[in-house]
Structures are given as C-alpha cells and as structure tokens.
Amino acid sequence: MTYSIHVQVTGNYKVQLYDPNTKGYGDYPNIGMHVEVRDPEDKVVLSKLYTSEGKFTFTSHLPGEHVICLYSNSTAWFSGAQLRVHLDIQAGEHAQDYQQIATKDKLNELQLRIRQLLDQVEQITKEQNYQRYRW
C-alpha cells in the first residue's frame, strides 16, 4: 500500500481456520497472528504478535509503498491447514474513530464535524505534498 508522510493507518482483521468436518471456516481464538509493517526503505515500522481477531495501527513516516505482512504462529498453519483472513485497512481521516474522539474530548456534533473537516484538509495537504515529492 502506498501512503504519503504522517498518515495514520489502521487495520482490522479476523482469522478463521478451515474445519474439514464441517467444510467451513470457524473462529479459533488460540490462533495467533504476527503483523509486520515495513516502510519504503524496508525498515520495520511495526512487528507485533496479536490474537486471532484484532486491530493494528501505525503512522507512515516516509512517503511511498508500505508492506503489510500477516502470518500465523499457530501449529495449525504449519500443519498445512487453511486459514481465511478478513482484512479492512483504513488510512488518513478514515482511520479515526470519531465517536470515540467526541466522547473523549466532549465534543458536540458541530465541533466534531469541524474536527473531521480539519482532518480532511490536513489529509489533502499531505497528499498534495506527496504528489509534489513524487514529481
């Protein structure tokens, strides 16, 4: 994924294990997922072990392509079992949980909307700077 500089990225994921008896995928909370993110210079931005369902967040400090790698540390993976990964990645102002921000900062509806608009303007500025950097 390609990001400009100082963009917050949030990934929500869920891993399911294939059960040949039911011929379907099920939830197994004991599956561990390792998430690793590398920046355009191949430096590790994030490297952490998570549970079978979770959320990871990082901020890009360099413009360009970032590599996000998810892999299981469970013995099921090493025995050749099939895993299904549901992954939703949000970047920029889309990565913000504005309801949580409103509650934490005690913002009314108008104040929250202004905050969202300011974040959008900031994101547009970052994208424009990134495009200038690329040229």
Q: What is the pLDDT of residues 72-81, one digit of tens each?
A: 877 655 567 7
DSSP string, the chain: -EE-TT-EEEEEEEEEEEETTTTEEEE-TT--EEEEEE-TTS-EEEEEEE-SEEEEEEE-SSSEE-EEEEEE-SHHHHTT--EEEEEEEEEGGGG--HHHHHHHHT--HHHHHHHHHHHHHHHHHHHHHHHHHH-
User: Which pLDDT score, from 0 to 100, does residue 128 have?
Assistant: 76
User: Which pLDDT score, from 0 to 100, does residue 86 have?
Assistant: 92
Q: What is the pLDDT of residues 20-69, one digit of tens each?
A: 889 899 888 888 889 999 999 999 999 999 998 999 989 888 888 899 99
Dihedral of CA 6/1/131/114: which sign?
Answer: negative
